[in-house]
A and B are shown apart, each in its own frame.
Chain A
């Protein structure tokens, strides 16, 4: 299949790749750019494990035609802090046992980051709405919702 060039910034870094014309962004990030933080769960929009931020707004990597991110800013969990200096959100997930198997976590973190960047003091309902496109088969969601509220400085908020 024909290849087409695409340039975008990935977690702040200029990135240029040749991609298959019909390639989705998730594939291009994982196989082309070597960022395996967004996960492939379903390839059909159902699970949200592939959620990335495009120009700050959550999008599903598996359903985004890669060529459409030309000139745009893509952020993934791979660009979040690593090692001891985790962000408040990551710390809250860790301390609140919001990740069990961890497969949904990168998508959850991106959905949560998009919410908190826009709305630093969300209500519980707003948190539930923000992660409504992300499935978690392990936690039962409550620890995730609690962690996002905790990260916003509203531990245990109603």
Chain B
């Protein structure tokens, strides 16, 4: 284990071979069960990783901010349902924003919400990356994510729902996040992201396009529902088959879109 106290000295430590420790809810499982795969744990204690910065035009969440901390902030109320959907209370006190970005299927419910928000991922050293390209390349990436940032969603424009077999805590069959810019009941711009419907959270781009310009009612969303899973790659796992995920996704998307905000 190496403790790195400031971001200034982090770059070389990370690039060598270390595994960055967030809350440890996934990494410590590896340590407990496959210790040979974790040769070096990097603990970064720089306080900026825990910062939440709320500005009019942009919200920045440090990579070390926990799900519990997100859920507790009044200004982040739109994100609270996605933060609260992760694990149980103890997990949420530990699980970080940064760790969720790297969490493999079926995890990544909060990352799905960030994807619908078009978040930017900030790397130590100053590089920034769109979350979509981050997710596509995350398995090959090495480095420290310091924060994510996004434009605050319009009031009532952000919706999230997680589908699981056990309540209140259960792993995702899927999670869906939608970030809609509405003018009256007309959808001007739509971002729809699914969690647990592919190797990483993925955007439902065909559905987004089909929704734009339409009204948010049964007739208006019909086309989006028929293409809801285009471009997704729902996996088979112990909880649901790919077939089942593909069939029920439009039903859950419809409930999310027609939910009154």
A64-B33 CB under 8 A given contacts A21-B1, A132-B89: no
Residue of A nearest to B32 (CB): A43
Indicate if the CB atoms of A67 and B43 lie closer than 8 Å.
yes
A134 B43 Cβ-Cβ under 8 A = no
Q: Complex: how many Å from CA A48 to CA B87? A: 11
With both chains docked as a complex, state the minimum distance between the C-beta of B186 and any C-beta of chain A, in angstroms: 37
Contact between A51 and B41, CB atoms less than 8 A apart:
no
Q: Which residues of chain A (108-126) have a CB below 8 Å from chain B? A: 111, 114
A68 proximal to B (CB < 8 A): yes
**Stretch in B21-29, B177-185, B225-233 touching the partner:** B21-29
Contact B1 A48 (CB under 8 A): no
Say yes or no: A63-B89 contact (C-beta < 8 A), given A24-B31, A128-B168.
Answer: no
A130 to B24, CA, bound (A): 21
* Inter-subunit contact B1/A51 (CB<8 Å): no
Which residues of B lie under 8 Å from residue A63 when comparing CB positions?
23-25, 28-29, 32, 94
Give the interface of A toward B (CB within 8 A). 4, 21-22, 24, 43-45, 48, 51, 54, 57-60, 62-65, 67-68, 111, 114, 128-130, 132-134
Query: With contacts A22-B35, A57-B68 known, what are 6 further pairs, Cβ within 8 A?
Result: A4-B1, A65-B24, A65-B41, A129-B89, A132-B89, A133-B91
> B residues within 8 Å of A by Cβ?
1, 3, 21, 23-25, 28-29, 31-33, 35, 38, 41, 43, 68, 87-91, 93-94, 168-169
